[in-house]
Amino acid sequence: MSESYKSILWNRQKRIYDAVLWSFIALYFILFITFNYNFFPAITVETVIIRATGTLALLLLHIILSIGPLARIDKRFLILLYNRRHLGVSMFLIALVHGIFSLLQFHSLGNVNPFISLFTSNTHYGSFINFPFQVLGFLALLILMLMAATSHDFWLKNLSPRIWKSLHMMVYVAYALLLMHVMLGVMQLEQNFNFLLLLLFGMCWLTGLHFFAGYAEIRKDAQTPSHSDGDYLFACHINEIPESRARIISANGERIAVFKYDGKLSAISNVCKHQMGPLGEGRIVDGCITCPWHGYQYQPQDGCSPPPFKEKVATYDVKLVDGNVYVNPQAHPEGTYVEPVIIT
C-alpha cells in the first residue's frame, strides 16, 4: 500500500522476483544468441537483437496473460501475481528495444522520416496477406507503453480502480495486434510455418485457460445458499472456516467474505478496492484482512483500511445459530462499523 508517490516500494519479495525475472531474461538472450550464431553465422547483430527481443517479449506476454487465470485456478500461482506489474514493465522495455531496432534497420536508411516510412513503405492496407504488419506492432507497442506508464499505484488512485482496470484490459487488444503482427511478418518475410504453429499453440493455451478459469468462477457463483433464516442466508458451519481465513458466498450478484478471527466473525465485500482482488482468498495479518493479490489491508469490523490509508469496502451483518453462520446480503455503506459476532 502506498499513501504517497514513490517510484517503487521495494521489499525482499520484489527483489527476489526481479532477480529471478532478469536472470531468466539474461539466460534467454544467451541461449538465443548462441543458437543463432551457431546455425546462422552470417546473421547480423541487428537482426539477432530484433529476433531475440521480439520472441522474448511475445513469450513474456503469454506468461503475463496466463498468471491471472492460473491464480484463480490454483492459489500457488498467487506469488506470480503479486508483482505482475514488474513483469509487464520489463516486457514493455524488451518490446521497445525490438521496436527501436526494427525502425532503425528497416526505416532509417532513406531520406524519409522513419515514422512516416513505417506507415508509407507498405501501402497494401486493403490486403489481408500483404497488410503492413509493422504498423500493427507499432500500435501494440503504443498500448503497452500506455499500460507501463500507468502501472504505478499513483495512477491507479487518480484514475480510479475501475477506469485503471478498463485501461489495462487493453492488453488483450495489444495481444491480438501482436498475433497479427507476428503472423503476417512470418508469412511475408520468414515463411517458417513452425513458428506459426507455436503461435497457434500459445493462442489456444491462453484461450483455454481463460475459459476454464471463467467456468470455475461461474460454478462458484451458482452455488446458492441451501437455506435461510429470515433475511439471513446460510453461509456454512463455523467449523468450515479456518482460523484467520474466510468463507465466500454469492448473493444478489455480490460476493461476500465471512472471516473467522480471534474468536469472532465479520463479513465484508469480497472485492478489494485496489485491483478488485478476492479479499476472501486472503487472510488476517496483524488484525487486518490482507488481499492476496497485492497486500491491501482492511479492518474486518468496519471494512476500512488502517490509518493513514483511506480505502473502504462494504460490510454485512452476521449471526451464528447452533454453529451455523448466516449473513444478511443487504450491504451496509462502505466503512460502516458492524459489531463482530462472538463465537461461543
Q: Which residue has the higher pLDDT, 203 or 80?
A: 203
Q: Which residues pair with 289 in a beta bridge?
A: 284, 298
Q: What's the pLDDT at 3?
A: 47
Query: Residue 5 above 70 pLDDT?
Result: no
> Which of 11-20, 114-123, 129-138, 209-218 is predicted with the least confidence, judged by mean pLDDT?
11-20
Query: What HEC string does the chain produce?
Result: CCCCCCCCCCCHHHHHHHHHHHHHHHHHHHHHHHHHHHHCCCCCHHHHHHHHHHHHHHHHHHHHHHHHHHHHHCHHHHHHHHCHHHHHHHHHHHHHHHHHHHHHHHHCCCCCCHHHHHHHCCCCCCCCCCCCHHHHHHHHHHHHHHHHHCCCHHHHHHHCHHHHHHHHCCHHHHHHHHHHHHHHHHHHHHCCHHHHHHHHHHHHHHHHHHHHHHHHHHHHHHCCCCCEECCEEEEEEHHHCCCCCEEEEEECCEEEEEEEECCEEEEEECECCCCCCEHHHCEEECCEEECCCCCCEECCCCCECCCCCCCECCEECEEEECCEEEECCCCECCCCCCCCEECC
Q: State yes or no: pLDDT of 2 exceeds 50.
A: no
pLDDT at residue 1 above 50? no
Cβ neighbours around 202 below 10 Å, total:
19
Q: Are 151 and 83 in contact (CB under 8 A)?
A: no
pLDDT in tens, 190-219: 777 888 899 999 999 999 999 999 988 888
Q: Mean pLDDT over residues 288-315, rounded?
A: 88
From CA 291, how far away is CA 218, in angstroms rounded? 21
Q: How confident is the model at residue 225 (pLDDT cuts 50, 70, 90)?
A: low
pLDDT higher than threshold 70 for residue 87: yes
pLDDT at 88 over 90: yes
Burial letters for 243-260: b for 16+ Cβ neighbours within 10 Å, e otherwise?
Answer: ebbbbbbbbeeebbbbbb
Looking at residue 19, what is its pLDDT? 92
Q: Cell numbers at residue 83, please? A: 508483482
Over residues 120-133, the mean pLDDT reads: 92
- Residue 226: pLDDT band with limits 50, 70, 90: low
pLDDT tens by residue, 30-66: 999 999 999 988 889 999 999 999 999 999 999 999 9
User: For residue 79, what pLDDT is reported?
Assistant: 78
Q: Is the pLDDT of residue 10 over 90?
A: no
- Grid cell for residue 221: 457463483
Confidence of residue 222 (pLDDT cuts 50, 70, 90): confident
Q: Which residue has the higher pLDDT, 145 or 227?
A: 145
**pLDDT greater at residue 84 or residue 160:** 84
Beta bridge partners of 342: 264
Q: Enumerate residues 6+ apart whose C-beta is below 8 A from 85.
A: 151
State in Å, rounded, how far the first CA of the chain is from the last one.
Answer: 35
What pLDDT, on a 0 to 100 scale, did the predictor assign at position 7?
A: 55
Residue 344: per-residue pLDDT: 79
Question: Mean pLDDT across the chain, nearest whole number?
Answer: 89
The pLDDT score that the predictor gives to residue 9 is: 61
Contacts for 69 with CB less than 8 Å, ≥ 6 apart = 209, 210, 212, 213, 214
CB 69 within 8 A of CB 213: yes
- Which residues, at least 6 apart from 171, have a Cβ–Cβ distance to it below 8 Å? 61, 64, 65, 88, 143, 144, 147
Q: Mind listing the pLDDT tens digit for each residue in 304-336?
A: 998 888 889 999 999 999 999 999 999 999 999
pLDDT band at 142 (very low <50, low <70, confident <90, very high): very high
State mean pLDDT over 222-228.
69
Choose the most confident range, by mean pLDDT, from 120-129, 149-158, 223-232.
120-129
The grid cell for 13 is 519479495
Mean pLDDT of 163-185: 92
